A and B are shown apart, each in its own frame.
Chain A
């Protein structure tokens, strides 16, 4: 009877949270309204680089309503400090409100408060910020130009940090190489753009001296810790709440100065204070992403074996270091992941972050890996073309097949399905490859097929963070599971759910361990008052580590339930099985006790407990990630059709073969993959944050900053391999970011295949495609 009970892990259960989200019942940051609340509007820098001469606030006096204004003089010394403990790294802080200088257009210079948001916005317009312009550092080349002054006093140059990582004997690899292939690849600057922007509300309760901060964040506990440190408040008296969060994608996976500032303003004014970011602010002043340049040099043997790789990696970091992943995080990640799924044992990467007068780079879905994989996989195709090899054949010749595999940097890869995924994709694409080949006789309509094969280190554990020396020291996720006297279950989860389906998948995990229905499990998250300390939801760790924590904690409760059941049925705990809301006796299946009755015994009729057992049904577990994380793998493929005379490209097909280990819920997995792919298509074809030579932003609304929209997206086919990892409790690997990592590379390769050219950069918009296809047009 129990053996054939459906298991909830792996079931296609529709998301519980969707009822709330789709019926308009969700409560987002802007829905929070408190009595006496003041609204904050930031006056922001119009100059990319300049010395603040004066902030003239006299215009506020003419207004017929009360206003409050604060500048960097009021918040002097309060700042975001995001330093990585590398001796080479130049230290800087971002003041909560600009002090002395502004360093990018959009930097917050003053906070203006009024009793409604229209008034504060009108009032902020009255401020006049007088700036004496300084020379602008606008490009990576300018940032490396020693003749331009550094952005910060005391710096020796605008190279924030430059480091190396290496493994094996690169000189020997070079000497043995029959082919040396060197290429430079670039990815454009992007914004992150969740559907809901950011926002903060803060309230200080003078009676019990508790500061409450609501923020649209992925990491409420880290916000709490930072506010505590910066404002010198006891962390026990700070509560941070992330309400429903309308998408984060990593943008909300950092602590921002405004989160500290709004809290400070609430304490300063004695009134609740609210700030809701508008789209323009989001685009120019939250965080940016990508903006990489990689020069790669591959050493390849005569028979097409990769022998070694040399990489030079630059990231245009913008002005400031973001917390907690810092300026070194983005370029360092490229250096770390470039070895990818291929077997070679000689490598050297030099990576650097460059300071410019632009919005700061932060984490955005994929974090450096979309750029790294673009370069890695474009290079693989460029090498294959030079050697006259088929792209699949060349990859299969070099793909890692035996696990665990220790890579050139010493990272150990757990088992995956690298070769199998490539082989399946090869089969799936056979007809498209033939059609592409046939189209190459045409100068007007070209079809191209491109693939991207990659791995993703996910669910990194504490040792990985220790190696990085960032302000974030650990990667564990905590869950506290509690059963109520009626047998229903509450999970207080250290993760914050902003679209991952965690309110459903975590319930599935607990349900299997406890023998109850997922619908009887209530998952709470995002409130530091109720949830155990954790680092938040980012880095593809929710399913793997959060799921692991819930599983282990639930098993602890299950053990106790079995002990109670065994006592009541006069048998031993190993004779008891929990399923379908009942505790069954294995040897006599007609004998069972409802789990609710066991719960009642544990919490109310405690006289029924076994001798010596304490009342209560709760357990907590902190699940850390493995030393090197667990490696998910995937192959993405794009089929494109290009109208050569106009440069218009259509995505005809997008296929994903992925392996994230144990699948908790296939609907959620497919949704995560597809959402990520759409964002990756945005990176490949549409999204481009553009600055002019003076570092004035040009793409400040959705009219100019082009997001991928439904008509441009084909059906995204998703195929799975399921190789459970031995490194997490459920065998699950991280999944959240993978979808976004492959598309730029797959589409880049498809364009290269279609046009018979090398593709060196994104975005591949109509203008770019037209310029790439010059050789197919008759000379004019």
Chain B
């Protein structure tokens, strides 16, 4: 359980990092918190020939830039827990962070690392999808803006090209009052999820005007429940009919089966978690109405 031989390069600034990544191409990987990459290297499931350490780069801002919340690629997960902008506009994001691993992982892991790694059950890819985030991928050739729905291509596979790295993620700030919830089920606290569901609702008074539902555990990438999102719009906070919507969503998916959960179990679970997240998001709206 020792990594294969690799070269280590400490990038001094963004231009240096991008130049190194351009030079190494497929053989290079940026190293941020290392919470997923390093274990994968120890198991020799990942064997980059060169690591470009980007920890010294100033990609650490969480700030409002016009209509978007800009999150630098090196923002560590624990920071969301005390960030007022996250709490005010992205409540499902805030809840999701509580489910990310353990304190050590939350202290070291970064958003750029998490979404580039693209574990099928990871929380932040699901949150990017839920809030229609835009991922900024930078290279010596300039920046590409990639919509979250186009970014996650498969388990551990993203739209990033050789020489590119994530430098920031932008979350559009919801125009209306926003509530949301994220619930995950794993065997133990901090485990990889068997399934998780996130919901974000926007409100006009007591009526839902915008809705997004995301789930992990159905397929090898997080998916949006576009079929049922439309059903939520126009509903009142005291009658979201969440159970029926959850069942309806569950009926559209055919989850994987493995030793941690049968397909039937995951399917039911996603329906149940959908119901619970919708009800919780409605409860938040009621409490703040």
Which residues of A come within 8 Å of B, CB atoms?
117-118, 121-122, 125, 278-280, 645-648, 685-686, 688, 690, 698-699, 701, 703-704, 706, 708-709, 711-712, 765-767, 770-771, 777, 780
Contact B187 A706 (CB under 8 A): yes
Closest Cβ of chain A to B144, distance in Å, is 32
Complex CA gap A216/B177 in Å reads 61
Contacts A122-B5, A701-B43, A770-B265 given; indicate if A712 touches B189 (C-beta within 8 A).
Answer: yes
Q: Give the chain A neighbours of B259 by CB distance below 8 A.
A: 688, 690, 698-699
**Is B261 at the interface (CB under 8 A from chain A)?**
yes
Complex CA gap A688/B260 in Å reads 10
Closest Cβ of chain A to B45, distance in Å, is 10
B4, B5, B189, B265: which contacts A647 (Cβ < 8 A)? Answer: B265
List residues of B (240-260) whose CB comes within 8 Å of A's CBs.
Answer: 247, 259-260
List residues of B (255-289) whose CB comes within 8 Å of A's CBs.
Answer: 259-262, 265, 268-269, 272-273
Q: Give the chain A neighbours of B190 by CB distance below 8 A.
A: 709, 711
Contact B192 A766 (CB under 8 A): no
List residues of B (17-50) whose CB comes within 8 Å of A's CBs.
Answer: 39, 43-44
Contact B265 A706 (CB under 8 A): no
Q: Give the chain A neighbours of B261 by CB distance below 8 A.
A: 766-767
Q: Give the chain A neighbours of B65 by CB distance below 8 A.
A: none
Nearest residue, chain A, Cβ from B257: A767
Q: Give the chain B neighbours of A690 by CB distance below 8 A.
A: 259
Complex CA gap A230/B287 in Å reads 75
Contact A767 B260 (CB under 8 A): yes
Contact B192 A646 (CB under 8 A): no
Q: Give the chain B neighbours of A278 by CB distance below 8 A.
A: 1
Closest Cβ of chain B to A44, distance in Å, is 13
Contact B189 A646 (CB under 8 A): no
Complex CA gap A499/B233 in Å reads 60
Complex CA gap A685/B260 in Å reads 12
Closest Cβ of chain A to B150, distance in Å, is 28
Contact A279 B1 (CB under 8 A): yes
Nearest residue, chain A, Cβ from B251: A780
Complex CA gap A117/B188 in Å reads 34
Q: Give the chain A neighbours of B262 by CB distance below 8 A.
A: 767, 771
B189, B260, B265: which contacts A711 (Cβ < 8 A)? Answer: B189
Contact A767 B4 (CB under 8 A): no
Contact B187 A686 (CB under 8 A): yes
Nearest residue, chain B, Cβ from A777: B268
Complex CA gap A289/B1 in Å reads 24
**Is B59 at the interface (CB under 8 A from chain A)?**
no
Complex CA gap A480/B114 in Å reads 58
The 10 closest A-B pairs by CB, nearest first: A278-B1, A711-B189, A767-B261, A690-B259, A645-B272, A770-B265, A121-B2, A767-B265, A709-B188, A118-B2
Complex CA gap A293/B189 in Å reads 31
**Is B97 at the interface (CB under 8 A from chain A)?**
no
**Is B185 at the interface (CB under 8 A from chain A)?**
yes
A-B contact pairs, 10 of them (CB 8 A): A117-B2, A278-B1, A701-B39, A712-B188, A712-B189, A765-B187, A766-B185, A766-B187, A770-B268, A780-B268
Contact A706 B191 (CB under 8 A): yes
Nearest residue, chain A, Cβ from B1: A278
Q: Give the chain A neighbours of B273 by CB distance below 8 A.
A: 646
Nearest residue, chain B, Cβ from A712: B188
**Is B166 at the interface (CB under 8 A from chain A)?**
no
Contact A648 B189 (CB under 8 A): no
Contact A780 B247 (CB under 8 A): yes
Contact B185 A709 (CB under 8 A): no
Contacts A122-B5, A280-B43 given; indicate if A770 touches B269 (C-beta within 8 A).
Answer: yes
Q: Give the chain A neighbours of B191 by CB distance below 8 A.
A: 706
**Is B69 at the interface (CB under 8 A from chain A)?**
no
Complex CA gap A704/B258 in Å reads 11
Q: Give the chain A neighbours of B272 by CB distance below 8 A.
A: 645-646
Q: Give the chain A neighbours of B187 by CB distance below 8 A.
A: 685-686, 706, 765-766
Contact A686 B188 (CB under 8 A): yes
List residues of B (186-209) whose CB comes within 8 Å of A's CBs.
Answer: 187-192, 194
Known: A122-B5, A703-B192, A766-B194. 16 other contacts (CB 8 A): A118-B5, A278-B1, A645-B272, A646-B185, A648-B185, A685-B187, A686-B188, A701-B39, A706-B188, A711-B188, A711-B190, A712-B188, A766-B187, A767-B261, A767-B262, A770-B269
Complex CA gap A3/B269 in Å reads 66
Complex CA gap A766/B260 in Å reads 8
Closest Cβ of chain B to A642, distance in Å, is 13
Closest Cβ of chain B to A208, distance in Å, is 35
Q: Give the chain A neighbours of B269 by CB distance below 8 A.
A: 646-647, 770
Complex CA gap A222/B247 in Å reads 61
Q: Give the chain B neighbours of A708 by CB distance below 8 A.
A: 188
Q: Give the chain B neighbours of A767 by CB distance below 8 A.
A: 194, 260-262, 265
Complex CA gap A718/B47 in Å reads 49
Q: Give the chain B neighbours of A646 by CB distance below 8 A.
A: 185, 269, 272-273
Closest Cβ of chain B to A702, distance in Å, is 10
Q: Give the chain B neighbours of A117 by CB distance below 8 A.
A: 2
Closest Cβ of chain B to A106, distance in Å, is 14
Complex CA gap A125/B2 in Å reads 12
Nearest residue, chain B, Cβ from A769: B265
Closest Cβ of chain A to B4, distance in Å, is 7
Q: Give the chain B neighbours of A647 by CB distance below 8 A.
A: 265, 269
Q: Give the chain B neighbours of A765 by CB distance below 8 A.
A: 187, 260
Q: Give the chain B neighbours of A280 by CB distance below 8 A.
A: 1, 43
Complex CA gap A428/B273 in Å reads 36
Complex CA gap A117/B43 in Å reads 15
Q: Give the chain B neighbours of A706 by CB distance below 8 A.
A: 187-188, 191
Complex CA gap A690/B191 in Å reads 18
Closest Cβ of chain A to B14, distance in Å, is 32
Complex CA gap A686/B43 in Å reads 23
Closest Cβ of chain A to B182, distance in Å, is 15
Closest Cβ of chain B to A117, distance in Å, is 6
Complex CA gap A701/B2 in Å reads 14
Q: Give the chain B neighbours of A648 by CB distance below 8 A.
A: 185
Q: Give the chain A neighbours of B5 by CB distance below 8 A.
A: 118, 122
Q: Give the chain A neighbours of B39 by CB distance below 8 A.
A: 701
Contacts A770-B265, A770-B269 given; indicate if A709 touches B1 (C-beta within 8 A).
Answer: no
Q: Give the chain A neighbours of B2 by CB distance below 8 A.
A: 117-118, 121
Complex CA gap A648/B269 in Å reads 10
Nearest residue, chain A, Cβ from B262: A767
- 1/0 contact string of B155-198 vs chain A (CB within 8 Å): 00000000000000000000000000000010111111010000
Q: Give the chain B neighbours of A645 by CB distance below 8 A.
A: 268, 272
Q: Give the chain A neighbours of B4 by CB distance below 8 A.
A: 122, 125
Complex CA gap A706/B1 in Å reads 19
Contacts A122-B4, A766-B194 given; indicate if A709 touches B189 (C-beta within 8 A).
Answer: yes
Complex CA gap A125/B260 in Å reads 31
- Which has the most chain B C-beta neighbours within 10 Å: A280, A701, A767? A767
B43, B44, B260, B265: which contacts A771 (Cβ < 8 A)? Answer: B265
Complex CA gap A767/B259 in Å reads 9
- Which has the most chain B C-beta neighbours within 10 Å: A646, A648, A699, A765? A646
Q: Give the chain B neighbours of A688 by CB distance below 8 A.
A: 259
Q: Give the chain A neighbours of B189 by CB distance below 8 A.
A: 709, 711-712
